[in-house]
Each structure stands twice: as structure tokens, then as C-alpha cells.
């Protein structure tokens, strides 16, 4: 057996990771609908999931300088993450220890000199220690050491900021697990730059969003334009399930389609995956070797449109000075779909990734959520600032137009929520191809049972 040198070889190495090898009896394949519509269930979710689990609060590059801070909110809870003078990132409950006034009301800012409560002018340093009080000589027996800001765990992974409201949380690395860390490392997510960043309220439960992106069973119905380049073949999909998280992948090609049809699909990729526009010129160069003047294509044995796309992707990224040596050929073309519990879904392949996150709406209505979509590209350092975008907060529903496939999902999810609210519909029945959803809700069940 040859030595495995690239983590991504798990896809080709183990045929036992196919759909037929999954133990469906160990997953929740019949999901009650109250978890999407019940306020009582949402209240228990708040305590057993959201107040106890690691969650992404932003990107590390949002806080480059000493004193840079950002606010992170989940439901009715507010936290502030700040970079200290020692360059360490710390998280605190966003409330003054005096009378509970919120310290940071804006989304982000800089507090190089520390935090000052505007109510009674109590001040804190970047380590959270109480530094001063108004008329301190008359304040009475207030022990400064007992009135520091309340700290919460903060850590980073793959360029993302993570926060956990639970002061006794397990370390982030333990929550993610060594396999997740190893498998994602070769993509260089920490070097990617944010090229799309949109957040807005959506009329569905946050788990409807998660479910929608955890399966490809809906592509034929919702994304017919993708069928020219991607047909989910359950027999070729591969899955890995971890304690809390999962990854799945299906080859990015249409088996049985003519060479011309596959080429047409690849040339149309930028309509759905805009970052592929940089790869198309090299793909066309490679294609020219097999194309006659009238446009007909004749591939010899061993050459396919998929393989040319993979080579074009590697050539393009390597030519930009980017390190893709740790990625397999499959990772040049195939999107791997990652689920990091509780609310992070990512499709990733060489040079790019697209992230969907969903959280309960702050008003506690289980029929609403906040969805946050973002895209990241692996670019040379000298080009990153030119492509970097700030967060767009959408106030008017439907006013922001996403790229085609995402827009189709955006319009579909509220329709599902309307159906789930019917009182006689007490459960959903999953098919085998939705095994990732089954695993995900099994994790939800475990947290709801014991909060861990």
C-alpha cells in the first residue's frame, strides 16, 4: 500500500465511505418538525446549543491592530472580541460590571486606550481589568480585582474567529478534532481573503438553511442549470462523519455526457462560481490541443474535460505563486461540502470557498433567522486588499441579488418554512442521499439531550 502524502486522498483511498456503507440506523432520518417551529424548542436550543458551543464570530483579519474590536451577538447575548497589546485576542461579555451598561454599541471600532463605559465612566484595559472609576475616592469598598470584565473563550482556526459563551468550554481544537484540522490545512484558508460578505434576516428557521446546503438531492429541482456540469451520483459520493462535523464530496462532472457538453458546462461555470473566471483562459489553452477548427473535440484515452479543468486550476494557482501542493487533483475541481456544528456550511476546492452560516433571529421567533453568506479566494498577498470587501447588511428583503444558484436557494428556503408550519405535518422523512442531514440532526439531538 502506497504511503498517503496528501490528506485529500481520503476520497479515493477508501471506497467504504460510499453511501451504501453508511449505517443509517445510527442517524436521525425522521426529523420532527417542532424543532423548526416551536418557541419552546428554540428556548431549549438557546441554553443547550448556543450558550455552550463554539461558533464563528468573524475573520482574524478584521482585527489586525492593537485595540481593534468587534461585537458579536447571538440571540440576546452580546460579546466583544479585542486584540490586546500583547497581540492576543480576548473575548468579553459586552457589559460594564458596574450597572450592566453595554460597553460597545457599534459593530466594530478601536479602543487602543481601553474601554470606557459612557454611563458612569468606569474604564477597563484591553485585558478586561477594571482600571478606573468616576470619583474613585468616594466609591466605597469596590474591589477592582473582583470587577474585571467577564471573559469568554476565544480562539482562531483557518483564519476564522471563534467564540464560545461557555467559560468552561473545551478547547476549540478538541471540539474540531484532529481530522478536521488536518483535512482543511492544505487549502490555506487562513490566507484567503473575503470577496463576498452579506448578512440579512430570512423567513425560515436557521436549521432549514443548514439542511438546504447539506444535500445535493435538490439540484435537479432547484438548480437545473448545474446539470450541465454536475449531476450528483449517489454511487460516487464519499462521506466522512466525525463526532460533531462532517464532509462529503461528489465528482464535479457529468458522466456519460459528450465532451462538447462537458466543455460547455465548464465554460459556463463563472455564471455560478464567479472565481472560476481566472481558470477558463488556461482551460481553453489546454483544450485547443484536442479541438479541430470546426470546434469538434476528440479526447484520447485518459483525457477528459474534468482532467483539463484540474490541470488548468493547478497551473493558474501555481502561476500566481500560490501553494496548492498539498491538494489532490480531485481537489482542483471538486467542491467538498463541510459541516462544522452548529451553523457553518462550506464548499471548498483549490483557491476558493463559499460559506453559509445561519443563526436564530435575535427576537427568538423560530420561523426567522439571520443568514450570513460569504466567499473567500486564495490570492497573492499583493492583490488581497484590492479584492477584500466589507460586510453588507441587507435591510430590505430581496434587494440583494446573489449569484444564480444561491439566489435559487434564498427563494426556496422560506417556502419550506411555510410548509413546516402546518400543524398536521409532524415529521420529515429523509432519503439515503440526505444522510448528512441525518448525521447533523443526530448531533442536534445529542446537544439537546445533554448540552454536549
Q: How far is CA 90 from CA 83, 138, 162, 184, in A?
A: 7, 31, 11, 25
- b/e map of 381-397 (b: 16 or more CB within 10 Å)? eeebeeeeeeeeeeeee
Beta partners for residue 58, in sequence order: 161
CATH class label, 55-163? mainly beta
**From CA 442, how far away is CA 445, in angstroms rounded?**
5
pLDDT in tens for each of the 452 residues of the chain?
A: 344 579 999 888 765 688 888 888 888 889 999 999 999 999 999 999 999 999 999 999 999 999 999 999 999 999 999 999 999 999 999 999 999 999 999 999 999 899 999 989 999 999 999 999 878 778 788 888 889 999 999 999 999 999 999 999 999 999 999 999 999 999 999 999 999 999 999 999 999 999 999 987 677 677 776 666 566 677 888 999 999 999 999 887 766 678 888 888 888 877 767 778 899 999 999 999 998 888 888 899 999 999 999 999 999 999 999 999 999 999 999 999 999 999 999 999 999 999 999 999 999 999 999 999 999 999 999 999 999 999 999 999 999 998 888 899 999 999 999 999 999 999 999 998 999 999 999 999 999 998 65
Report which of 13, 19, 47 is spatially closest to residue 234, judged by C-alpha positions: 19
Tell me, what's the pLDDT at 17?
A: 87
Q: What pLDDT was estimated at residue 229?
A: 58
39-72: pLDDT as tens digits: 999 999 999 999 999 999 999 999 999 999 999 9
For residue 328, the SS3 value is coil
Side-chain half-sphere CA neighbours of 12 within 13 A = 14
CA–CA distance, 349 with 327 (Å, rounded to integer): 9
Provide the pLDDT for residue 235: 80
3 state SS of 354:
strand
122 close to 136: Cβ distance less than 8 angstroms: no
- Average pLDDT over the chain, rounded to an integer: 91
- Domain positions in the chain are 9-52+177-449, 55-163
Write the DSSP symbol of residue 291: B
Tell me the CATH architecture of domain 9-52+177-449.
Answer: Alpha-Beta Complex (3.90)
Helix (H) or strand (E) holding 175: helix 172-176
**Predicted pLDDT of residue 3:** 45
- 443's grid cell: 448531533
Residue with cell 457538453: 261
Q: What residue ranges in 260-361 does DSSP mark as E strands? A: 336-340, 344-349, 352-360
The predicted-structure confidence for 185-214, as pLDDT tens digits, reads as follows: 999 999 999 999 999 999 999 999 999 999
Residues 267-324 have pLDDT tens digits of 887 776 777 889 999 999 999 999 888 888 889 999 999 999 999 999 999 999 999 9
Q: State the pLDDT at residue 1.
A: 33
Give CA–CA dist 53/446, Å, rounded. Answer: 13
Say how many C-beta atoms besides its own lie within 10 A of residue 259's C-beta: 17
| Strand ranges, E, within 245-368 | 246-249, 336-340, 344-349, 352-360
H or E segment and range at residue 335:
none
Q: Are 364 and 194 in contact (CB under 8 A)?
A: no
Q: How many whole angstroms separate alpha carbon 20 and alpha carbon 26?
A: 14
Amino acid at each position: 500500500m502506497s504511503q498517503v502524502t496528501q490528506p485529500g486522498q481520503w476520497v479515493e483511498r477508501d471506497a467504504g465511505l460510499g453511501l451504501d456503507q453508511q449505517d443509517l440506523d445510527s442517524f436521525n432520518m425522521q426529523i420532527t418538525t417542532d424543532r423548526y417551529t416551536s418557541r419552546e424548542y428554540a428556548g431549549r436550543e438557546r441554553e443547550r446549543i448556543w450558550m455552550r458551543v463554539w461558533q464563528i464570530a468573524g475573520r482574524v483579519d478584521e482585527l489586525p491592530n492593537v485595540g481593534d474590536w468587534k461585537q458579536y451577538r447571538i440571540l440576546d447575548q452580546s460579546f466583544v472580541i479585542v486584540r490586546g497589546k500583547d497581540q492576543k485576542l480576548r473575548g468579553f461579555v459586552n457589559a460594564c460590571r458596574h450597572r450592566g451598561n453595554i460597553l460597545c454599541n457599534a459593530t466594530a471600532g478601536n479602543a487602543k486606550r481601553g474601554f470606557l463605559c459612557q454611563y458612569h465612566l468606569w474604564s477597563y484595559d484591553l485585558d478586561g481589568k477594571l482600571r478606573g472609576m468616576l470619583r474613585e475616592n468616594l466609591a466605597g469598598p469596590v474591589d477592582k480585582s473582583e470587577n474585571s470584565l467577564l471573559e469568554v473563550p476565544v480562539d482562531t482556526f483557518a483564519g476564522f474567529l471563534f467564540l464560545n459563551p461557555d467559560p468552561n468550554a473545551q478547547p476549540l481544537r478538541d471540539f474540531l478534532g484532529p481530522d478536521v484540522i488536518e483535512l482543511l490545512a492544505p487549502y490555506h484558508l487562513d490566507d484567503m481573503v473575503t470577496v463576498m460578505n452579506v448578512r440579512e434576516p430570512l423567513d425560515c428557521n436557521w436549521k432549514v438553511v443548514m439542511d438546504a446546503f447539506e444535500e445535493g438531492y435538490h439540484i435537479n429541482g432547484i438548480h437545473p442549470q448545474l446539470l450541465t456540469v454536475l449531476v450528483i451520483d449517489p454511487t460516487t459520493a464519499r462521506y466522512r462523519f466525525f463526532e460533531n462535523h462532517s464532509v462529503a464530496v461528489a465528482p464535479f462532472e457529468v458522466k456519460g455526457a459528450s465532451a462538447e457538453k462537458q466543455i460547455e458546462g465548464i465554460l459556463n461555470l463563472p455564471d455560478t462560481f464567479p472565481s472560476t473566471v481566472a481558470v477558463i483562459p488556461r482551460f481553453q489553452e489546454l483544450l485547443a490541443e484536442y479541438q479541430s477548427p470546426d470546434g469538434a473535440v476528440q479526447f484520447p484515452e485518459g483525457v477528459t474535460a474534468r482532467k483539463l479543468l484540474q490541470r488548468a486550476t493547478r497551473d493558474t494557482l501555481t502561476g500566481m505563486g500560490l501553494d496548492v501542493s498539498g491538494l489532490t487533483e480531485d481537489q482542483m475541481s471538486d467542491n467538498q461540502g463541510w459541516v462544522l456544528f452548529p451553523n457553518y456550511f462550506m464548499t471548498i476546492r483549490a483557491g476558493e470557498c463559499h460559506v453559509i452560516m445561519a443563526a436564530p433571529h435575535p427576537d427568538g421567533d423560530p420561523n426567522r433567522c439571520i443568514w450570513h453568506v460569504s466567499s473567500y479566494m486564495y490570492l497573492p498577498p499583493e492583490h488581497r486588499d484590492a479584492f477584500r470587501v466589507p460586510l453588507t447588511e441587507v435591510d430590505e428583503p430581496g434587494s440583494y441579488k446573489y449569484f444564480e444558484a444561491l439566489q435559487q436557494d434564498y427563494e426556496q428556503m422560506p417556502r419550506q418554512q411555510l410548509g413546516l408550519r402546518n400543524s398536521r405535518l409532524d415529521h420529515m422523512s429523509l432519503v439515503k442521499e440526505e444522510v448528512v442531514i441525518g448525521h447533523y440532526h443526530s448531533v442536534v439531538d445529542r446537544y439537546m439531550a445533554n448540552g454536549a
